[in-house]
Amino acid sequence: MTEKKRILSGMRPTGPLHLGNLHGALANWVKMQEQYDCFFFIADWHALTSNYEDTGSISGYIRNMLIDWLSAGLSPEKSTLFIQSHIKEHAELFLILSMITPLPWLERNPTYKDQIIQLSNKDLSTFGFLGYPVLQASDIIIYKANGVPVGVDQVPHVEITREIARRFNYLYGKVFPEPESILTETPKILGIDRRKMSKSYNNAIYFSESPDEIAASVSKMLTDIQRARKSDPGNPDVCNVYEFHKIYSDSKTVGRINKECRTAEIGCVECKKIMAQNLIKALEPMREKRAYYEARPQLVDDIITDGRDKARRVARQTMAEVRDAVKL
């Protein structure tokens, strides 16, 4: 049997996960568990880079994120699930990599410039924030990951990771493979206001929401904005509710909505009700799993410890090779 390829990815614990995260990343990770040797971790040190002034909620977010992951189908039997700050070796490798990373690589990183502008309410002129991709590189290569499933916004970071790995290998001898980005295909579901679904826009539907909360969010969703009255024909192709139907409703319903929207036989209120019901039903297994883990805090603790131990074994082994290569 050939060895499974190893993949690794992480998320910053900055709040509860929403349907955009589910379809954007998580659902993909869940599938990849069958095919790859998967490492998934919660990047709490990375959360500090932009939230260092207010760290009080991070530990709650970490636990919640793990429960979100488990309820979406990540499995501690199939994958290694762990918390970044539990594996101190990431920090040691980060330090060594920081010695060999030329500053211009970091200064020209597009996400760096972008975030400084977008998060102008925060002072991000720190060493840690500039070094974000170096820490990310150490997260990835310490497990010798071959692939990194990410969204497009993270591709520059994987690119920097490859350059750093190459530079390390060139200077000290080959220790690291160069990881590749695995781009996640995503259905184009938007937030309730039709902008990209995002926690910071306040337009997200969270998968930990109750059925009533989901129904309320769906009722607020913008539809085809040209359709002012129920008697006006609508266009499902430009309607976000219809995108949700395509994911959550059966194909017969999708076909019927497509037709009856265009002929004004169905109104948006009814159309949303049908979608909300199907969405609530689709999320039911996740709600059950969440309740299961929430009622068993010890089990969650054990999953965290087991993941830590599995990740640590690999990270320690790599660091032994690194110290050897660097001759320290």
The residue ranges that bind ligand TRP (CB under 6 A) are: 8-12, 43, 46, 136, 139-140, 148, 150, 154, 157
**Is the dihedral angle over the CA atoms 163, 166, 168, 171 positive or is it negative?**
negative
Q: What character string, x for contact with ligand SF4 (CB under 6 A) and - otherwise, covers 265-284? A: -x-x--xx------------
Which residues have C-beta within 8 Å of that of residue 126, sequence separation ≥ 6? 49, 52
The listed partner (ligand TRP, ligand SF4, none) that binds 10, CB under 5 to 8 Å by sort, is ligand TRP
Q: Among residues 218, 211, 154, which one has the least CA distance to residue 180?
A: 154
Q: Is 68 in the site for ligand SF4 (CB under 6 A)?
A: no
Minimum distance from residue 136 beta carbon to ligand TRP (Å): 4
**Do residues 271 and 257 lie in contact, with contact meaning Cβ atoms separated by under 8 Å?**
yes
C-alpha neighbours within 13 Å on the C-beta side of residue 39: 27
The listed partner (ligand SF4, ligand TRP, none) that binds 17, CB under 5 to 8 Å by sort, is none
Q: Is 241 in the site for ligand SF4 (CB under 6 A)?
A: yes
Minimum distance from residue 158 beta carbon to ligand TRP (Å): 7
The listed partner (ligand SF4, ligand TRP, none) that binds 18, CB under 5 to 8 Å by sort, is none
Of 42 and 279, which has the nearer Cβ to ligand SF4? 279
CA atoms of 253 and 247, how far apart (whole Å)? 11
The listed partner (ligand SF4, ligand TRP, none) that binds 190, CB under 5 to 8 Å by sort, is none
Contact residue for ligand SF4 among 257, 280, 311, 319 (CB under 6 A):
257
The listed partner (ligand SF4, ligand TRP, none) that binds 28, CB under 5 to 8 Å by sort, is none
Minimum distance from residue 283 beta carbon to ligand SF4 (Å): 19
CA atoms of 174 and 193, how far apart (whole Å)? 50
Helix (H, G, I), strand (E, B) or coil at 40: strand
Minimum distance from residue 223 beta carbon to ligand SF4 (Å): 4
Minimum distance from residue 11 beta carbon to ligand TRP (Å): 6
Instruction: Give, in degrees to the nearest 5, the angle at Cα 176 between 171 and 182.
Output: 130
Q: Among residues 316, 38, 285, 82, which one has the least CA distance to residue 182?
A: 38
For ligand SF4, how many residues bind (rule: CB under 6 A)?
14
Interacting residues with ligand SF4 between 211 and 240 (CB under 6 A): 223-224, 227, 234, 236, 239
Of 42 and 239, which has the nearer Cβ to ligand SF4? 239
Q: Is 261 in the site for ligand SF4 (CB under 6 A)?
A: yes
Minimum distance from residue 239 beta carbon to ligand SF4 (Å): 3
Q: Is 48 in the site for ligand SF4 (CB under 6 A)?
A: no
The listed partner (ligand SF4, ligand TRP, none) that binds 224, CB under 5 to 8 Å by sort, is ligand SF4
Of 266 and 300, which has the nearer Cβ to ligand SF4? 266
- Could you write out the three-class secondary structure of 303-316? HHHHHHHHHHHHHH
Strands across the sheet containing 180-183: 80-83, 37-42, 6-11, 147-150, 180-183
**The token pair that represents 202 in the structure block:** 């306040």
Adjacent-strand bridge partners of 183: 150
CA atoms of 249 and 258, how far apart (whole Å)? 12
Minimum distance from residue 225 beta carbon to ligand SF4 (Å): 9
Q: Among residues 321, 227, 323, which one has the least CA distance to residue 272?
A: 227
For residue 202, give the DSSP letter.
T
Radius of gyration of the chain (CA): 22
Question: Which chain residues interact with ligand SF4 by CB under 6 A?
Answer: 223-224, 227, 234, 236, 239, 241-242, 257, 261, 266, 268, 271-272
